[in-house]
Structure 1
Amino acid sequence: MSPVVAHDVREPGDAPQLAKRILIGEPLTTEQVNDQLLPKRMALPIFASDALSSVAYGPQEMLMIMLIGGTALMTLSPLVAAAVVLLLIVVVLSYRQIIKAYPSGGGDFEVTQKNLGEVPSVIVAAALLVDYILTVSVSIASGVDNIISAVPVLNNWRVEMAVGFVALIVIVNLRGVREASAVFAIPTYVFIGSVGVMIVTALVRTVLGDAPVAASAAYTMHAESLSQAAIVLLILRAFSSGCSALTGVEAVSNGVPAFRVPKIRNAKTTLAMMGSIAALLFAGLTAVALISGVKYAEDPCQLVGYTCGTPQQSLMAQVASATFGAGSIAFFIIQAATACVLLLAANTAFNGFPLLGSVLAREGYAPKALNTRGDRLVFSNGMIVLGLAAVVVLVVFQANLTNLIQLYIIGVFVSFSLGQIGMVRHWKRVLHETHARPLSEVADERRGAVTGLVINMMGAIMTVTVLVIVTITKFTHGAWMVFFAIPVLAVLMLGVKRYYRDVEHEISIDDTTHFGSSGDVAIVLVSRLQKPVIKALDYAIAAQHDKTIALHIALTPEDGKELQRQWQQHNIPVPLVIVDSPYRTFAQPVEHFIRQYREKHGPSVITVYLPQYIVGHWWESMLHNRRSRRIAAQLMMVHGVTITLVPWLLDSSELIYGRRSRPLPGQQRSGRPVVLYGTPPSGRRAQRPAGPPDQG
């Protein structure tokens, strides 16, 4: 038998990889991680877009709740808005202290873990993860809402648009932090500038005696007769809805590692800029909405004069229309910028969620895959998990902003409250540790600790109070689902931590650990005498085991005899062992043979070689390798046995690898030749190549 010679050729043509490169970009090396760090001007749109964009729906939700009590109750709106702005300022100052004390990126999780213990820290982590998912959902739903306000005909495609925007943002974020910041920077700054111009224009017109008037100003609402207690509860509910403007503040403290050096100073500056802009826009937009008489109702059909069945314009759209005129260029700029920044506000979560997930994975509370950086040096697994979770929420709630907003801010205020309490304990510990040292050495440190203690104590009192208010006012409106999800997620994370701890204990080495195996045996499983089997034999011989055995499981005596005849005919230089299988099983006879061999020859290390086809079509996987997969799965349960899969590339594999497993007629392949065993014309047995072949 003449030797069969094959040549290997490699052609580019991996279509899935090409598509991945087009969508995500070329992979980055680990050394390039510092190039991905952000300056302040780019960090602001990345980490602050959520807090900045929330001014588009925070005032809207606050005024919507106040309107339930009638137009007379709207006069209290400025006081409620002032309380929200005051809380925002306190929270921003509090998180500047967290950035200073814990700049590693753990944020509230790290604060509570080091100061309050494991269970509170896991609750904080679960609350933040839930809040990040809802941030994406609410931001996308609000963005779609503003698009529909400008183009009402798109109302029937609300859910589809929301899901599409989530997919788009995931892809952009997978391309890396710097590319995402470049994409998101322009819409964020356009939003800040355009809304700022709108507020100033409206206020100037008011001062000049030409106050803008919203189209809904003429609507009235029949207020129900409310008791004093009901009015107080309504005001508290409006305040809790307005507090949605605080979401995203914690993202900067979680993203400190992404800033350029000096990281702490840049992060604190970015947080201060974000808080100042958000407070001014929230207060200004609320003032202009009240001046122009905007009416935005939970059920617009309750508005007297409103045409039921038509989409209700968002507060932002009504203010823009009143200030610049409906259909004006400025109106569409405002709507486009608002829609963009609301959609891109989800990007804050796509930075916070993966970073927090990586911290949790390092601590053992989440799967290790969340701590793996992708091709573009981002935690891509966390981004994909967040995107899928947000899509589920949007589909379940039909991208309805009013329903989603009821679930919002619960998680963030849980983390706010526990984080601030943890910081109070942190500063008390610092003061205690510096008490015994000379005052001249620790004067600055004690002064900073006292300042931090005062700020964080105020933050703790206010955020706990708001958490109680939010819980009371939103619980029956859907927030109970968040209170259910947070403990369930916390229990799961504790279970993952316990599992990793048990596995680590199980596999850790100690002085009693020893391995007494002797000998090195290779077993090549042979079904029929074919090229994939010859390739597996060649690999086994090239590995230079102490002993190499070809093992055939014969379902019938005739099968074994025929294989034995072919084996002798082709002079295969490996002993063939045939084991009968009267019950037509494969894995059990192999396992039984291995046990018998060890009983006779000692505890040898056994390497089992299994030929396996590599295919290009998904449906081919159902037609091949099923037996080898079952055998491998069972043999891996046998101590001292390793499995080596020897690939044989079928022609269809070129769809994946851009090459063929063997030459086409009339073609030759370059590369190292592969010689199958046989009897050459001279009568001498052909020698195997010096090393294992690249290709069968």
Structure 2
Amino acid sequence: MVVAVPAGRSIKRILVGRAMRSDRLGETHLPKRLALPVFASDALSSVAYAPDEILLTLGMAGGAMAMTHSWQIGLAVVAVMLVVVASYRQNVHAYPSGGGDYEVASVNLGPKAGLTVASALLVDYVLTVAVSISSGVQNAGTALAFVRGHEATVAVILVLLLTAMNLRGVRESGRAFAIPVYAFMAAIFALAVVGLARQLTGGLPQAESAGLTLAPEPGYEQLGGIAMVFLLLRAFSSGCAALTGVEAISNGVPAFQKPKSRNAATTLLMMGLISITMLLSMIMLARWTGIVYAEDPATQLQRNGVPVGEAYEQHTVMGQVASAVFEGFNPAIVLVSIVTGLILVLAANSAFNGFPVLASILARDGYLPRQLHTRGDRLAFSNGIMILAGVAAVLIVLYDAEVTKLIQLYIVGVFVSFTVSQIGMLRHWNRHLAVERDAEERGRMQRSRAINFVGALMSGTVLVVVLITKFLHGAGYAVAAMAVLYVLMLGISKHYARVRDELKVDDDDVESQLLPSRVHAIVLVSKVHKPTLRALAYARATRPSRLEAVTVSVDPEETEALQADWDRLDIPVPLKALDSPYREVTRPIVQYVKSIRRGSPRDVVVVYIPEYVLGRWYEQVLHNQSALRLKGRLLFTPGVMVASVPWQLHSADGQEERLYGGEAAGSVRRGE
């Protein structure tokens, strides 16, 4: 016999791959060379948009503001990054289980602090996908003309592709993403080396926008001392987008090969040093090449005192720097554009690894649906991956893949988690120092505490700056989303606690459940055929206290014919016909079952529903789905159990493992 393979399963195997046994989980663990592109792509990719955001913000004041202060803002961002990286190296050693900031906050500051961090991180992961992919599409548009005007569509397609890759498992996605990430690093380092060499020799060309002047935005023509400080702080908060992704490694420690903590800490240090080098290189190259960058280039950018107008196309900072440094060598310019677009798309992969793991831990603790704690066929947390992709795609469509708008919602969540987790680490070290007596170990703990203290102070300062400077520009929406998620997770936790308490077994429950009670069995019948006879046989085999067959009289003539067949075959089970003047099927059965329960509250009623199983999807439209409706109604009736008795049609041969819609033989319309 040839067994038909369901088309849906074949497509799934092509996209996701063969299912993996649970005992092969260790094979999915990552060495450092693969962990770096998997977990650090977000932080590394920020070099492609963090300089843009710094220059855009400084450019509001017009003039030479961006040229004179961009490198200072860059150094401030680097200082924060160094402290945050050093702080998180303490985290991965102290809490290697993968809970990251959530675990640190929950253990040291309490469950509500942990939920605050978790809600912030979940929102930030979604925004990471939306911002990174949107930015990648915009950068790709520099070299690929067909992308322009269709950014949102292309971005959603890329989200779907990333989803498919991650559903195949962490290790496979790491292999696929390693080459583009390392190619991006090589391209940026080449850009930095060539740019520095040409600058030292006096041969570095100017960028395409270098000859333009920058007019201030309305309201920014004359900035006083306080307003100037506010603008610099806002530029600093925008540049701190470069720090997003640092926390991904602390959340992904379980995915590393052993020794997990040491490998994670080493990867974190490598990521920090590479990110800092690339970020400073890009900011300095932008300054040397004289890039002028504006929020509204059509009106702000001027040539000989005249606005350039709508016809002017402003390329990204990365694109302009590459065009200047590699002037005359187009293949290098195109390569930088392509690998930048790829790294920005792949930066979302950090979120695809962090979000599902965190969601799984929250589900384990009862704050999110239990389904998120289950691994899929490829040992990845498939449900979390799908949810992340869906929400990010919605955001991309809503904001039309515009990075400038999306970036305003960004980084609030990550600095909430930074700050709370560092405060948690301070309590962690204080608790251990209170009991530790070894002088050498105490010295190590005190050094770690000092690092975490500086980290808490700096990340807290950045959080305040971000909230003050970006709240009205979009960060408020992110804060609102965190609040909603926080309340939702509390509600889920209360639901699980309520169900757990309600289902808890004590001695009285055991005794009451073991008391004898009668079983009243009902077999639903529409006509005498094989499914009906099988259901009757199964019901009789259970030896209930009372057994009867029930049909619904929609057509009196058909009911009489059914009774005649019943008597002719001498079936040893009484047949009862329920009147249905309005030709309903479900309601008369439910009312009859409830009447039995009212008459004998301690009886258990078992309703046997004969069903036949269809093998082809298009056959579903030829049959009603009254079995589903009937089951749904009976499930809410106390003391009632529903038993489906399947009869597989020939079209269902070989497809047992799939769940097909059955039809209740006892409730089909007469004549079908």
Give the TM-score taking structure 2 as reference length: 0.91
Shift of 1:122: 1.1
User: Residue 215 of structure 1: SS of its match in structure 2?
Assistant: coil
Q: Counterparts of 1:203-352 in structure 2 under 5 Å? A: 203-223=196-216, 224-301=221-298, 302-305=300-303, 306=308, 308-325=310-327, 328-352=330-354
State percent identity of aligned pairs: 47
Find the counterpart in structure 2 of residue 687 from structure 1.
Answer: none
Find the counterpart in structure 1 of residue 471 from structure 2.
Answer: 475
Find the counterpart in structure 2 of residue 126 from structure 1.
Answer: 119
Distance in 2, matches of 1:550 and 1:397, equals 59
Shift of 1:495: 0.7
1:459-506 alpha-carbon deviations (Å, 9 max, x no partner): 111011111111111112111111211111101111111111111100
Shift of 1:113: 1.0
Distance in 2, matches of 1:253 and 1:658, equals 39
Distance in 2, matches of 1:510 and 1:408, equals 50
Q: Counterparts of 1:608-619 in structure 2 under 5 Å? A: 608-615=607-614
Q: Counterparts of 1:329-478 in structure 2 under 5 Å? A: 329-434=331-436, 439=437, 442-478=438-474
Distance in 2, matches of 1:315 and 1:242, equals 14
1:423–1:465 Cα change, 3 Å: same
Distance in 1, matches of 2:655 and 2:458, equals 58
User: Residue 647 of structure 1: SS of its match in structure 2?
Assistant: strand
Distance in 2, matches of 1:260 and 1:416, equals 25
Shift of 1:209: 1.8
Letter in 2 for 1:393: L
Find the counterpart in structure 2 of residue 54 from structure 1.
Answer: 46
User: Residue 522 of structure 1: SS of its match in structure 2?
Assistant: strand
1:10-43 alpha-carbon deviations (Å, 9 max, x no partner): 6122000101111111100101111111111111
* Uncovered stretches (5+) of structure 2, i.e. residues with no partner: 661-672
Note if 1:638 corresponds to 2:637: yes
Note if 1:195 corresponds to 2:193: no
Distance in 1, matches of 2:248 and 2:19, equals 26
Query: 2:212 touches 2:301 (CA, 8 Å); kept in 1?
Result: yes
1:386–1:406 Cα change, 3 Å: same
Distance in 2, matches of 1:143 and 1:634, equals 50
Query: 1:523 touches 1:608 (CA, 8 Å); kept in 2?
Result: yes
1:276-329 alpha-carbon deviations (Å, 9 max, x no partner): 100111111111111111222111111113452343211111111111126611
Shift of 1:544: 5.5
Distance in 2, matches of 1:291 and 1:234, equals 23
Note if 1:102 corresponds to 2:95: yes
Give the TM-score taking structure 1 as reference length: 0.88
Count matched residues.
646
Distance in 2, matches of 1:320 and 1:362, equals 47
Query: 1:360 touches 1:366 (CA, 8 Å); kept in 2?
Result: yes
Distance in 2, matches of 1:386 and 1:532, equals 44
Distance in 2, matches of 1:255 and 1:166, equals 21
1:251-293 alpha-carbon deviations (Å, 9 max, x no partner): 0000011111111101101111111100111111111111111
1:352–1:615 Cα change, 3 Å: same
Query: 1:64 touches 1:295 (CA, 8 Å); kept in 2?
Result: no
Worse overlay, 473-482 or 350-359: 473-482
Query: 2:3 touches 2:654 (CA, 8 Å); kept in 1?
Result: no
Note if 1:35 corresponds to 2:27: yes
User: Residue 639 of structure 1: SS of its match in structure 2?
Assistant: coil
1:175–1:226 Cα change, 3 Å: same
Letter in 1 for 2:59: L
Shift of 1:184: 0.5
Find the counterpart in structure 2 of residue 141 from structure 1.
Answer: 134
Shift of 1:361: 0.4
Distance in 2, matches of 1:499 and 1:605, equals 28
1:486–1:326 Cα change, 3 Å: farther
Find the counterpart in structure 2 of residue 503 from structure 1.
Answer: 499
1:605–1:35 Cα change, 3 Å: same
Distance in 1, matches of 2:516 and 2:580, equals 28
Shift of 1:562: 2.1
User: Residue 80 of structure 1: SS of its match in structure 2?
Assistant: helix
1:506-531 alpha-carbon deviations (Å, 9 max, x no partner): 00111110213434453211011233
Note if 1:65 corresponds to 2:57: yes
Shift of 1:582: 5.1
User: Residue 553 of structure 1: SS of its match in structure 2?
Assistant: strand
Find the counterpart in structure 1 of residue 534 from structure 2.
Answer: 535
Distance in 2, matches of 1:552 and 1:327, equals 83
User: Residue 325 of structure 2: SS of its match in structure 1?
Assistant: helix
Distance in 1, matches of 2:330 and 2:431, equals 59
Shift of 1:168: 0.5
1:347-395 alpha-carbon deviations (Å, 9 max, x no partner): 0000000000001101111111111111010000000000000011000
Shift of 1:411: 0.8
Query: 2:4 touches 2:654 (CA, 8 Å); kept in 1?
Result: no
Distance in 2, matches of 1:195 and 1:235, equals 27
Query: 1:14 touches 1:657 (CA, 8 Å); kept in 2?
Result: no
Shift of 1:585: 4.7
Query: 1:552 touches 1:576 (CA, 8 Å); kept in 2?
Result: yes
Letter in 2 for 1:47: F
* Uncovered stretches (5+) of structure 1, i.e. residues with no partner: 1-8, 662-696
Q: Counterparts of 1:157-168 in structure 2 under 5 Å? A: 157-168=150-161
1:163–1:546 Cα change, 3 Å: same
Query: 1:152 touches 1:311 (CA, 8 Å); kept in 2?
Result: no
Worse overlay, 71-80 or 469-478: 71-80
Distance in 2, matches of 1:627 and 1:427, equals 62
Shift of 1:123: 1.3
Find the counterpart in structure 2 of residue 5 from structure 1.
Answer: none
Distance in 1, matches of 2:13 and 2:576, equals 49
Worse overlay, 197-206 or 614-623: 614-623
